[in-house]
A and B are shown apart, each in its own frame.
Chain A
Amino acid sequence: MQDQELLRLYGVMARIRAFEQAAEVASAGGVRVLGATLTGGAKVRGPLHLSIGQEAVSAGVCAHLRTDDLLTSTHRGHGHTLAKGGNVNRMMAELFGRADGSNLGKGGSRHLAAFSVGMRGANGVGAAGLPIACGAAHALKLQDRPQIVACFFGDGAINRGPFLESLNWAAVYRLPVLFICEDNRYSATTPSGQITAGAGAAERSRAIGVPAVSVDGNDVLEVWRAAADLVDQVRAQREPRMLHARTWRVKGHVSVDTQGYRDPADLAAAIAADPLLRAREHLLARGVDAVRIDALDRAAADEIAAAVAFADASPAPALEQAYTDVQTIGEGAWQ
């Protein structure tokens, strides 16, 4: 890989990191769950699912996706959206629930969507994106279009029925889907290992007939290389593949989750495995000047600060928006 590309990947991860950190700050006091207190005044209200520590998976996979490739995401979808090309101003405004949000303030963090760059929505229901991804790929096949679908889901989702069904479906109909299991080792607040039989996503995938590759999801180089190969295969052979990326969740299931249930050593390992630090190490080892890396951090911080300002300046949605885009037949029949 060229240094330029590795720097670019670092930049994507830095932007995701900055976005997540800003969102976290903006959400303090915004929800009462898992022991947190609602204090009011938070700019981002409601539970926020942060992907801090998982940036390499989004960056490494989306590097090989074109704008018109499709992507389905999860409740923890800010990184996927940003890496796919989502507009950070509109993303932040959506988290703030404002009129200029990508979803006009009607979805929030859990439902971020950027259809113009192929991002077909973050889904609040675990594993719900898999059948939708299969359908999107099925459409591409029926329409004889060359695009592919990237379907992100977590390690918790592999225990839901739609996971099994979707792998089978994609294999039976030979659909151009890259399934990406972003394995952060936790199903909400329960370690997935405790509640998952067998060797996990990759083994289950192979058993159904979808070839799978496992990688260290915190090494963006490794993710990038594996994704390059798998995306090539999906594009050329029009068949499904799975990338199982082992990563670490640094923050709680939701932003206010203080993770009292978590073994401190496990949390320390998660922090130490920081994908940005590891990418920085790669770059420095290649002789890239730290100044250039720092500049990417600063640029990301500036960009996200501007996004926060944009979001804060955006008004709340007009009340009429509660009644738009519900359905066409029956519009007006609200009672």
Chain B
Amino acid sequence: MAVTTMSYSQAAAAALERAMREDPSVVALGEDIGRGGIFGQYKGLLDAFGAHRVIDTPISESTIMGAAVGMALAGIRPVVEMRVVDFALCAMDEMVNQAAKNRYMFGGQGRVRLVARLPIGIWSASAAQHSQSLEAWFAHMPGLVVVCPSTPQDNYSMLRAALQAQDPFIYMEHKELWGLQGEVDDELEARFGNARLARDGGDLTIVSWSAAVHPALEAAQRLAGHGVQAGVIDLGTIWPWDRDTVLSHCARTGRLLVVHEAVRAAGFGAEIAATAAEYTGCRIARLGAPRVPVGYAPVLEAIASIDADKVERAALELMGMADRATGISAQPQGAHQETAEPR
């Protein structure tokens, strides 16, 4: 057993190195992974395992994913690097109509054991086509397991476990977490569908995942200064999500705030909120991005991002303590007016 401090990207490379060493059927394919991947998450693997197992592909998203399905059906375990979730949209048929449904529609004759890496989140200064968080899309799709590692430990344990599982995984790292440092215990096993209670507190339940967990935790610290003890639950797995942990916690606190970087409207927070409404009597709020593409200029991009200020404000409003939020910067709400003048 070893506990090492490393970055989110190093953790993934380490997990993949171990998986490829222990299991000769694991193969990685995607664009630019031979030289280490654009975030270093494949560093050293080409040298260690050779070009037949670390495959640099053409810019052919449909075939990168479709070939991974074909490989998986033939007993290979592909790690499919799609670079960013935004580009992975070029392979939607292959993920949704092929990978997700193959086992079911063929009556169980095949298994598609693959891990598709689709990084989510606002990529700083990269604008609309590189800044989406689409975990809700894949949560909606029967056949897929959807996970969002939020720490280096997650990105080690989850990747390792996904490569031992029986399902097609939509593995959604966050584009801005690659450099995040953290402790990684290489014997700690991920348990999909089990949320992590990152902080406990009896006044308020904050549920989040991916990068948003970090400002949520920072906000929880600040809330303690207001006399509010907030619990923070990191879902980890988006589907199947840990309903028991979330519902029992918010049944206790009576207040649920879901925080995600994805667009609020029809985001996965809506599913959590609806479930909580169906099964508990708690008050519910959701914090997410407005339904606008992510803009380029910093002030525009900031509209969509989640920070501790926004989480703190949303939490205080849910607590009925909005007056305490006056010191926190508010973001302009944009075109709520029904008759905005066209420019």
A→B interface (CB under 8 Å): 70, 72, 101-107, 111, 113-116, 120-121, 123-125, 128, 130-143, 161-162, 165-166, 168-169, 172-173, 324-330, 333
Nearest Cβ in chain B — how far from A309, in angstroms? 21
Residues of B contacting A72 in the complex (Cβ-Cβ under 8 angstroms): 70
Q: How far is the CA of A114 from the CA of B110 in the complex (A)?
A: 10
- In-complex Cβ contact of A327 among B27, B55, B65, B145 (8 A): B145
Q: How far is the CA of A113 from the CA of B103 in the complex (A)?
A: 11
Residues of B contacting A102 in the complex (Cβ-Cβ under 8 angstroms): 107, 109
Q: Contact between B105 and A142 (Cβ–Cβ < 8 Å)?
A: no
Nearest Cβ in chain A — how far from B193, in angstroms? 7
Cβ of B89 within 8 Å of any chain A Cβ, yes or no, is no
- In-complex Cβ contact of A128 among B57, B72, B98 (8 A): B98
Nearest Cβ in chain A — how far from B109, in angstroms? 4
Cβ of B60 within 8 Å of any chain A Cβ, yes or no, is yes
> Given A326-B104, A328-B165, A333-B239, do A132 and B73 touch, yes or no (CB 8 Å)?
yes
B→A interface (CB under 8 Å): 27, 52-53, 55, 57-58, 60, 62-63, 65-76, 78, 93-94, 97-98, 102-110, 142-145, 165-168, 192-193, 239-240
Q: Contact between B166 and A136 (Cβ–Cβ < 8 Å)?
A: no
- In-complex Cβ contact of A121 among B106, B142, B143, B192 (8 A): B106
> Given A165-B63, A172-B58, A327-B145, do A70 and B109 touch, yes or no (CB 8 Å)?
no
- In-complex Cβ contact of A330 among B67, B71, B109, B145 (8 A): B145
Q: Contact between A131 and B62 (Cβ–Cβ < 8 Å)?
A: yes
> Given A131-B67, A133-B70, A134-B63, do A111 and B105 touch, yes or no (CB 8 Å)?
yes
Q: How far is the CA of A125 from the CA of B95 in the complex (A)?
A: 13
Q: Contact between A131 and B167 (Cβ–Cβ < 8 Å)?
A: no
> Given A103-B105, A115-B110, A329-B192, do A143 and B75 touch, yes or no (CB 8 Å)?
yes
Q: Contact between B27 and A130 (Cβ–Cβ < 8 Å)?
A: no
Chain A to chain B contacts (Cβ below 8 Å), 29 pairs: A101-B107, A114-B109, A128-B94, A130-B63, A131-B63, A132-B70, A134-B70, A135-B66, A135-B76, A135-B78, A136-B74, A138-B70, A138-B71, A139-B73, A139-B76, A141-B52, A142-B27, A142-B76, A168-B60, A169-B58, A324-B108, A327-B144, A328-B165, A329-B145, A329-B166, A329-B192, A330-B145, A333-B239, A333-B240
Nearest neighbor of A112 in chain B, beta-carbon distance? B106
Nearest Cβ in chain B — how far from A288, in angstroms? 39
Nearest neighbor of B114 in chain A, beta-carbon distance? A135
Residues of B contacting A324 in the complex (Cβ-Cβ under 8 angstroms): 108
Q: Contact between A140 and B74 (Cβ–Cβ < 8 Å)?
A: yes
Nearest neighbor of A70 in chain B, beta-carbon distance? B74
Q: How far is the CA of A125 from the CA of B102 in the complex (A)?
A: 12
Residues of A contacting B143 in the complex (Cβ-Cβ under 8 angstroms): 326-327
Q: Contact between A166 and B63 (Cβ–Cβ < 8 Å)?
A: yes
Q: Contact between B239 and A330 (Cβ–Cβ < 8 Å)?
A: yes
Residues of A contacting B70 in the complex (Cβ-Cβ under 8 angstroms): 72, 120, 131-139
Nearest neighbor of B91 in chain A, beta-carbon distance? A131
Residues of B contacting A142 in the complex (Cβ-Cβ under 8 angstroms): 27, 52-53, 71, 76
> Given A161-B62, A325-B107, do A132 and B69 touch, yes or no (CB 8 Å)?
yes
Q: Contact between A135 and B71 (Cβ–Cβ < 8 Å)?
A: yes
> Given A329-B167, A330-B193, A333-B240, do A135 and B69 touch, yes or no (CB 8 Å)?
yes
Q: Contact between A326 and B75 (Cβ–Cβ < 8 Å)?
A: no
Q: Contact between B107 and A107 (Cβ–Cβ < 8 Å)?
A: yes
- In-complex Cβ contact of B165 among A137, A161, A329 (8 A): A329
Residues of A contacting B78 in the complex (Cβ-Cβ under 8 angstroms): 135
Residues of A contacting B97 in the complex (Cβ-Cβ under 8 angstroms): 124-125, 128
Q: Contact between B240 and A169 (Cβ–Cβ < 8 Å)?
A: no
Q: Contact between B62 and A165 (Cβ–Cβ < 8 Å)?
A: yes
Residues of B contacting A123 in the complex (Cβ-Cβ under 8 angstroms): 98
Q: Contact between A113 and B109 (Cβ–Cβ < 8 Å)?
A: yes
Nearest neighbor of B97 in chain A, beta-carbon distance? A125
- In-complex Cβ contact of A113 among B58, B107, B168 (8 A): B107
